Structure 1
Amino acid sequence: MTASIEIAHQPRVEDAVGRSLAAYKRYETHDLDIAEVEIRRFMAPGRLRACPGDRDGVDARAFYADTGSVGVGRMSYGAEVTVDRPAGSRYLGVAIPLSGHLRLWRGREAVDARAGKSLVVIAPQGRIVTEWSADCDALMLRVTTSALARAARVLTGAHEPDSPPRFVHQVLTLEQGHAVYSAARLLAEVFGRYDDVTAVPNGVLHQLSEHALSAVLLGLEHDLSRPTRPPYRAAPSDVVRSAMRMVEDETAAEFNVNELARRLGVTARALQLGFRRALDRTPREYIRQIRLERAHRELLAADATDGTTVTEIATRWGFFHTGRFATAYRAVYGVTPSVSLKGGTEEERPPRVV
């Protein structure tokens, strides 16, 4: 007997998120065998089977963009299908239904992930069987286990070279999986501004990848979520000063907290404690302040008549959500970024520290 577990209501994912990946089509086919072969190229091996009587209705489509370690895409089949993925994948996946529903089987129990309510975590370890409804269109986040292992070493200070954290297959509400849900949306939205991955600036690709890896490691349960290591010690003041110089010397957004920690030979947690002790703020807050200052200078120096845009400058300095950038900018400088770009038609107040 099958037990279906309903997930609490959450807001729907905007249709615009799905449309943003339209330029990254990988395939469109009515043949499940072709879809199965194509999926191996960017996701993971698995068997596709259409439900009885549904094979003639297959309309499989996939759109996918990837940074190497992290990728985001959209997938649909146009028919009720079962995806049977064997154990031993090199990827962790997160499937977020934009329409319809996905059903995750755990023995004889089925858990439904429905559009606007929940998501499915597809762990690298262990076989997983999922059923896609005919109207299911899902946003997919894919992260390599090798990248997770590297990012986990930075976060935990571990030294094992090939020990990625272990996750479990599960369905989470969008609230429970908010970090990875937001990271997947951000990836899709930023990639959607470009016609091809090669057009995305390398610094942007790096920032997006590191953000997604951190979201997975900090936002999902795994065997490293509760470390047994001794309490962290704060990074010494000279390490904090070195981190500050690295951020201040950037010519565009380059480092995040994990990357700074790795370059300086400390854990991300130690660096965070060091900043708290020395500056009474987190490294992330310091990075945000410096980059907001850099963006402010560029906006004032830019010539709007030559085609320079607020989005271009904001993206270069790691602010991928232009609306949030404008809000943060106005809170500090008293005007919107567009006013500064046009030469300042409103009075700017002295900047305040954020």
Structure 2
Amino acid sequence: MLTQRFHEERFERVEDLDSIRDTVSRMIARHNISLAEGTCLDANLRAYARKNVSILTLGYGAAVNINVNPPPDRVHVIQIPLRGAAKVASGRAEIVSTSEQASVPDPVLGARMSWSADCEQLIVRLDGDEMKRHLQSMVGCTTIDNIRFAVGMDLRTPQNRTWVNAVQLLLGDVRARSGIMNHPLLAPQIESVLFTGLLLAQPHNYSELLVTEQDFSAPRKVRDVIRHIEEHPDLPLTVEQLAEQSGISIRALQKSFYKTVGCSPMAYLKEVRLRRVHDDLAIADPRSGVTVTDTALKWGFMHLGRFSGAYRERFGETPSMTLRR
């Protein structure tokens, strides 16, 4: 499994359609591809992949039609034309993707695409479960369904331009091989920039919730409760205590919390605690005597069975796996 360094694959002047299709299917998502009549394939691919992120530059050297079925693992694919153009349809949305507009096909609906013969694209593949975990962390709630981005990505906006620049910076450093992006301590942070940056820059079905999270006009009492939870997640907090401290009823606190944050105060507390456990385990040296049990108890998890299940659902691995990494 790719977990630490970016793994490179490179193909030049490929003329076998099945070969390039199988490689791209493995790197991004399974698809069918056909050549426009009277054209000959002359494909070039350069790809770098880790567990949660893949970055490719791809050109077919011919006009091609591509049909992508909804991938079972719900990956998010951002396609940025470096030259040429591509028609992209996903669900009812149809766009012409150029150097000014990237495409983000809906992973639930799949896509139909037609690339021009001179089209070459910078493609970023982001793991869907990891994207969901980043959004959950940003909004402090675990009730997140499929994330569905707008298909067209306007590359003229400062936010999206910055995101593409981050991708290109990462790509250039990884290609250099001696760069710092392959360092196991830094690479996950760079990955986080890509996931979080896309969630903030590109519209999606949870964008309004993110805006609410950053709205400083949110009720002051809710902000005070959030601050108290963030500062003291190790304390045996209850919703009754939080309501009493905020000076409002439990019902009013619950309702205001859902409206502002999207989940209950106790769900938010659980999320904060899970993040603190994960952070402690991620930096701990197993040889130092640190244990999963002690760390979980430190952050207020008294029922270790339920904690382990919640941790695995939240981070996609067991606490002991995080500790051993």
**Same fold judged by TM-score > 0.5?**
yes
Q: Cα distance 1:206–1:135, how it changes in 2: closer, same or farther (>3 A)?
A: same
Please say if 1:226 is aligned against 2:208: yes
Distance 1:101 1:131 in 2: 9
Q: Unpaired runs of 5+ in structure 2?
A: 1-6, 234-270, 278-325
Q: Does the 8 Å contact 1:180/1:215 carry over to 2?
A: yes
Alignment of 1:336-351 (within 5 A): none
What is residue 105 of structure 1 aligned with on the other side? 89
What is residue 26 of structure 2 aligned with on the other side? 41
Q: Unpaired runs of 5+ in structure 1?
A: 1-22, 243-258, 266-354
Q: Cα distance 1:180–1:224, how it changes in 2: closer, same or farther (>3 A)?
A: same
Kindly state the Cα deviation for residue 144 of structure 1 after the two structures are TM-superposed. Answer: 0.7
Letter in 2 for 1:113: S
Q: Cα distance 1:119–1:87, how it changes in 2: closer, same or farther (>3 A)?
A: same
Letter in 2 for 1:180: W
Alignment of 1:1-354 (within 5 A): 24-28=8-12, 29-54=14-39, 57-89=40-72, 90-105=74-89, 111-115=95-99, 117-160=100-143, 163-175=145-157, 177-194=160-177, 200-227=182-209, 233=223, 235-236=226-227, 239=230, 263-264=275-276
Q: Does the 8 Å contact 2:93/2:151 carry over to 1?
A: no
Q: Cα distance 1:236–1:133, how it changes in 2: closer, same or farther (>3 A)?
A: same
Kindly provide the CA deviation profile for residues 79-100 of structure 1, in whole angstroms up to 9, marking residues without a partner as x: 0001110124521111111111
> What's the secondary structure of 2:122's corresponding residue?
strand
Q: Cα distance 1:195–1:48, how it changes in 2: closer, same or farther (>3 A)?
A: farther
Q: Cα distance 1:236–1:99, how it changes in 2: closer, same or farther (>3 A)?
A: same
Q: Cα distance 1:181–1:111, how it changes in 2: closer, same or farther (>3 A)?
A: same
Kindly state the Cα deviation for residue 183 of structure 1 after the two structures are TM-superposed. Answer: 2.8
Q: How many residues in Structure 1 have an aligned counterpart in Structure 2?
A: 223
Kindly provide the CA deviation profile for residues 284-331 of structure 1, in whole angstroms up to 9, marking residues without a partner as x: xxxxxxxxxxxxxxxxxxxxxxxxxxxxxxxxxxxxxxxxxxxxxxxx
Kindly state the Cα deviation for residue 263 of structure 1 after the two structures are TM-superposed. Answer: 3.1
Letter in 2 for 1:83: I
Q: Does the 8 Å contact 2:49/2:55 carry over to 1?
A: yes
Q: Does the 8 Å contact 2:30/2:71 carry over to 1?
A: no
Letter in 1 for 2:200: L
Letter in 2 for 1:24: E
Distance 1:105 1:136 in 2: 17
Kindly provide the CA deviation profile for residues 119-138 of structure 1, in whole angstroms up to 9, marking residues without a partner as x: 11122110211111111111
> What's the secondary structure of 2:223's corresponding residue?
coil
Q: Does the 8 Å contact 1:112/1:171 carry over to 2?
A: no
Distance 2:124 2:163 in 1: 8
Distance 1:239 1:215 in 2: 23
Give the RMSD, CA atoms, in angstroms: 3.4
Q: Cα distance 1:189–1:159, how it changes in 2: closer, same or farther (>3 A)?
A: same
Kindly state the Cα deviation for residue 210 of structure 1 after the two structures are TM-superposed. Answer: 0.4
Kindly provide the CA deviation profile for residues 208-265 of structure 1, in whole angstroms up to 9, marking residues without a partner as x: 11000001111111111112788662554795699xxxxxxxxxxxxxxxx9996338
